[in-house]
Amino acid sequence: MDELKRVLKRIGIILLVCLAVVIVGTMIGYGVGGGNPFAVFLPRTWSHIFDFMR
């Protein structure tokens, strides 16, 4: 049981690190394009991206 907790803890840490990397990566990518890096969190930004992909 102790080993299962350790494995689940590692999986959780890996998922959190992956999420943080994705968030920082989108901010950097959006900022390099000339926009405000924090604007990547606005719903209108994602709406524009999805409309562009259609």
- 28 close to 37: Cβ distance less than 8 angstroms: yes
Q: What is the mean pLDDT of residues 1-18?
A: 95
pTM score, two decimals?
0.72
Sorting pLDDT into bands at 50, 70 and 90, what band is 5?
A: very high
Q: Where are the alpha helices (DSSP H) in the chain?
A: 2-32, 43-53
Q: Specify the pLDDT at position 49.
A: 84
> pLDDT tens digits, residue range 16-45?
999 999 999 989 988 898 888 898 889 998
Q: Specify the pLDDT at position 39.
A: 87
What is the 8-class DSSP label of residue 54? -
Sorting pLDDT into bands at 50, 70 and 90, what band is 2?
A: confident
